[in-house]
Amino acid sequence: MSSIIGRNLLAGAEPDPAGDAGHGPDHPPRVGFFTDTSVCIGCKACEVACKEWNAVPEDGLALTGMSYDNTQGLSADSWRHVAFVEQSRPLGPPAPADAADRPVDPAAAPDHSGVDVFALAAGQPAAAGAPDLPARAADSAAGAAPAPPSPDGRTELRWLMSSDVCKHCTHAACLDVCPTGALFRTEFGTVVVQQDICNGCGYCVPACPYGVIGQREQDGRVFKCTLCYDRLGAGMEPACAKACPTESIQFGPLDELRRRAAARVDQLHAAGVPEAALYGADPGDGVGGDGAFFLLLDAPEVYGLPPDPVVTTRDLPAMWRQAGYAAASLLGGLAAVFAACGTHRKGPR
Amino acid sequence: MSRSSVRRDGVHGERPGRQAPGGQGTATTAPLARGRRRGRGGEELMVPGAEFTSYYGRPIIKRPTWRARDIAGYFFLGGLAGAGSVVAAGAGATGRPVMARALKVSSLAAVTGSAAALVHDLGRPARFAHMLRVLRPTSPMSVGSWLLSAYGPAAGAAAVLDLTGRLPRLGRAATGSAALLGSAVAAYTAVLAADTAVPAWHDGYRELPFVFTGSATLAASGMALLASPVGENAPAVAGALLGTAVETAAVVTMERRLGMIAEPYRHGRGGRLMRAATALSAAGAAGAVLRARRSRSAAALSGALLLAASACTRFGVFHAGVASADDPKYTVLPQRERLRRRAEEAAAASTAE
Ligand code: SF4
Ligand code: SF4
Ligand code: SF4
């Protein structure tokens, strides 16, 4: 652990956040999650395991129509959230040889809006009213892509699923802005709320660039993923990772996870999934890298993640400077006003 | 959400395209078409032109949990108190005792009200003392709590000692420190708002402190016009002009610099309040200049208009921020643009080598 004096602790790469937060040199290595969304099956075992282990209360029962996602997002009562994205395009590029030099173009994806699934289910021919079917048929004859709903029932639906969670940022805005010190950095480098300290000021809520932490209304305090601090302390892996049947949620020391993730991306690229990309794994990004990072198959915003999050306190020195100028100009301006108006003399004018 | 119903013979009613579209964010780099209403909660997800994608139109960041009345009210009262203390010190030093006393009292009342609003907004009001558990320079709320706990007593002492006429030396010291701390109280609330991920607040961090101190000057000048005799109110008239000028210039600069993120300051609730603030401050300042030196009632009316203008600005900024947090486009598009520019710069740098 190098000295924290004279270093920028508000932004940029920071190899040892736990050490910089004051944990001794023998603190355990930083841990986190690598969520490989390419193998997520959307079973929501993580959501359930988290609720069960942490006794997180019910978060509202709603039928949203957002594919299979009725959780909607992370909140005080949802510390894991599985996103479901239905897209009209196949996973990875189609087989043909020209695939490599053809960019993935969402506009070129087949349009299924004219397909009547009820007619299909009733066994009627699919062609009725599907405007682009002839074109697509010609396409598939040329070997470009398989036609939509084919006789064997397969479609070109690409179903993206991703289990979202608190990122346990290297530079955590929630922690930086908390006025009570309720949010703190653990010896594992994770970010946790001390529930007996939080006074519900709510400052952390709009500060998080990912919209993770939320206030529980009846309770008044804020809650979020603790990265199962209690389980970590007992040498156990977090409940959500433990419950994940496909190893989509991988838990471990961050260094090791980053190596594993890089290898997985290479593997997917070689297998013909050029859009596979890591999100939040770069220690040089706006939050200094996430403790919980992801392998995504589309742009981050498609999953409801910000494309280029920046910890708000990176600009804090500039903010204080501007406020200083403003305060000084308030004093100076009003002093000038009084000086210009001169001393008031009593009596009738 | 969905307005369709499934029956035996099929699906009836609206079936909006609720597919989360795939894509690579912005295809265009143009500042967005303004004022386009985006469906919330799963409808109208396909954006024409595929220039912007999101997860079912849901916000990316969380909107502030703060109640407008408490926190925008706190911004207003904090500004009134802080700038009021500066005006009180100036009035005291230039022989305007009525104005000085009135503003000392109004500052004490305003700071009391603002503290009450802050505590009321806490999820656990009984734990308000935890605010002073640590001093955290990275938390404007922590810095502000300590600032208020120094300013409050100073403003209180200034008012009480003026009213009772006791200990004049101590009273002057309290007035002076209240003025110094007051200017910080009026300015820091801008940092409080800007130090969040809320696009319309964070990205406006350069100008927002000037918007707030300008608005605070307006409020304090308004209070001075309302409470002092015409013979004393020349500085209040000039202060009204100064505040109007600073606030207007800061808002205009901010909106120009923010580009598409400035939309919530122009449209919707935030926009309406900002426009009301402009109209009210213009009317108040004009009234002050034209009539306030002659007519007591015209001065009071101008003062009331200026106070209302200041409140409108604070509520306008508050609601604009909330609107910018609610619509994912204000989070996604600027970040996309940032990434694109960075990629361009990297490409330019690599070709230059
Ligand atoms: S800023 Fe948000 S994502 Fe990062 S640690 Fe805090 S709550 Fe988690
Ligand atoms: S709500 Fe609680 S955890 Fe969040 S900033 Fe306030 S005191 Fe800290
Ligand atoms: S690490 Fe623990 S608290 Fe966090 S999402 Fe997983 S189960 Fe929930």
Q: Is A53 in the pocket of ligand 3 (CB under 6 A)?
A: yes
**pLDDT tens string A134-178:** 443 334 333 444 444 555 555 567 899 999 999 999 999 999 999
How far is the alpha carbon of A236 from chain B, nearest alpha carbon, in Å? 31
CB–CB contact A316 B20 (8 Å):
no
| Nearest alpha-carbon partner for A182 in B134, B56, B343 | B134
Q: Is A185 on the interface with B (CB under 8 A)?
A: no
N-term to C-term CA, chain B: 54
Q: How far is the CA of B19 from the centre of ligand 3 (A)?
A: 29
Instruction: Look at residue B130 and tell me if it is in a domain.
Output: yes
Q: Is A106 on the interface with B (CB under 8 A)?
A: yes
ipTM of the complex: 0.87
**pLDDT tens string A324-334:** 999 999 999 99
CB–CB contact B53 A302 (8 Å):
yes
**In chain A, which stretches have pLDDT less than 50?**
1, 94-110, 125-148, 348-349
Q: How far is the CA of B229 from the centre of ligand 3 (A)?
A: 64
CATH number of the CATH domain containing B151: 1.20.1630.10
Q: How far is the CA of B75 from the centre of ligand 3 (A)?
A: 37
Most informative mutation of A30, A188, A224 for ligand 1 (most atoms within 8 A of CB): A224
Partner residue opposite B22 with nearest CB, options A182, A302, A323: A302
Q: Is A191 in the pocket of ligand 2 (CB under 6 A)?
A: no
Range of the domain at B154: 68-335
- Compare all CA atoms of chain A with the CA of B179 and give the residue at the minimum distance: A331
Residue nearest (by alpha carbon) to ligand 3 atom 7: A50
Residue nearest (by alpha carbon) to ligand 2 atom 4: A204
Instruction: Look at residue B19 and tell me if it is in a domain.
Output: no
Q: Is A304 on the interface with B (CB under 8 A)?
A: yes
> Are residues B292 and B233 in contact, defined by beta-carbon separation less than 8 angstroms?
yes
pLDDT of residue A65: 87
Please, what sign has the CA dihedral across residues A145, A148, A154, A160?
positive
CB atoms within 10 A of CB A174: 27
3-state helix, strand, coil in chain B (%, to 5): 70, 0, 25
**pLDDT tens string B195-246:** 999 999 999 999 999 999 999 999 999 999 999 999 999 999 999 999 999 9
pLDDT of residue B12: 54
CB–CB contact B94 A343 (8 Å):
yes
Partner residue opposite B53 with nearest CB, options A173, A201, A301: A301
Residue nearest (by alpha carbon) to ligand 2 atom 8: A178
Taking the CA of residue A280 as centre, how many other CA atoms within 13 Å lie in the half-sphere pointing to its CB? 30
CA distance A259 to A250: 12
Give pTM, 2 decimals. Answer: 0.85
Partner residue opposite A85 with nearest CB, options B20, B141, B196: B20
How far is the alpha carbon of A235 from chain B, nearest alpha carbon, in Å? 31
Residue B97 phi/psi, 5-degree rounding, is -65, -35
Partner residue opposite B195 with nearest CB, options A107, A207, A215: A207
Q: Is A274 on the interface with B (CB under 8 A)?
A: no
CA distance B314 to B215: 8
pLDDT of residue A247: 95
Q: How far is the CA of A280 from the centre of ligand 2 (A)?
A: 24
Residue nearest (by alpha carbon) to ligand 2 atom 7: A198
CATH number of the domain at A25-88+160-310, please? 3.30.70.20
pLDDT in tens, chain B (353 residues): 334 455 555 555 544 434 444 444 433 333 333 333 443 333 333 333 337 889 999 999 999 999 999 999 999 999 999 999 999 999 999 999 999 999 999 999 999 999 999 999 999 999 999 999 999 999 999 999 999 999 999 999 999 999 999 999 999 999 999 999 999 999 999 999 999 999 999 999 999 999 999 999 999 999 999 999 999 999 999 999 999 999 999 999 999 999 999 999 999 999 999 999 999 999 999 999 999 999 999 999 999 999 999 999 999 999 999 999 999 999 999 999 999 999 999 999 988 76
Q: Is A208 in the pocket of ligand 2 (CB under 6 A)?
A: no
Q: Helix, strand or coil for residue B71?
A: helix
CA distance A313 to B250: 22
Taking the CA of residue A190 as centre, how many other CA atoms within 13 Å lie in the half-sphere pointing to its CB? 27
Our count of domains for chain B comes to 1
CB–CB contact B209 A309 (8 Å):
no
Most informative mutation of A185, A190, A191, A215 for ligand 1 (most atoms within 8 A of CB): A191
N-term to C-term CA, chain A: 73
Three-state SS across chain A?
A: CCCCCCCCCCCCCCCCHHHHCCCCCCCCCCEEEEEEHHHCCCCCHHHHHHHHHHCCCCCCCCCCCCCCCCCCCCECCECEEEEEEEECCCCCCCCCHHHHHCCCCHHHCCCCCCCCHHHHHCCCCCCCCCCCHHHHHHHHHCCCCCCCCCCCCCCCCEEEEEEEECCCCCCCHHHHHCCCCCEEECCCCCEEECCCCCCCCCCHHHHCCCCCCEECCCCCCEECCCCCHHHHHCCCCCHHHHHCCCCCEEEEEHHHHHHHHHHHHHHHHHCCCCCCEEECCCCCCCCCCCCEEEEECCCHHHHCCCCCCCCHHHHHHHHHHHHHHHHHHHHHHHHHHHHHHCCCCCCCC
CA distance B177 to B171: 10
Residue nearest (by alpha carbon) to ligand 3 atom 6: A240
